[in-house]
Amino acid sequence: MGKIITLSVEEEIERKFRELASIEFGKKKGYLGKAMSVAMKEWIERKERESKIAKVLELMKKGIDMGGIKYKKRDELHER
């Protein structure tokens, strides 16, 4: 058995949630808990994904130090 949570949500959101949850899971005992668990899991995954994307974008903005050019002429690359 999971944790009991008491929530306060807008009536329209609650009505739509109950309606869709009953379609997805049937109106049997525990259907709201199952639907809420799925919704919470998806929200967590989305937030974690957004966080990872933000970190990658920040790294991209900073760039990578490639060490700069270490030769003056092309011939130095091939030791001619």
Is 25 contained in some domain? yes
Residue 79 in this model has a pLDDT that exceeds 70: no
- Among 24, 32, 27, CA closest to 5: 32
Task: Give the model's pLDDT for residue 31.
Answer: 96
Please report whether residue 2 resides in a domain.
no
Query: Both tokens of residue 10?
Result: 């807008």
Q: Judge whether residue 80 has pLDDT over 60.
A: no
Summarize pLDDT for 39-76 with one digit per residue, the tens.
999 999 999 999 999 999 998 888 877 777 777 777 77
Regarding pTM above 0.85, the answer is no
User: How far is CA 76 from its chain centroid?
Assistant: 48
Spatial separation of the C-alpha atoms in residues 18 and 14, rounded to whole Å: 6
Say what the pLDDT of residue 16 is.
Answer: 98
Total domains present in the chain: 1
Domain residues for 20? Answer: 11-61
- Average pLDDT, stretch 20-33? 96
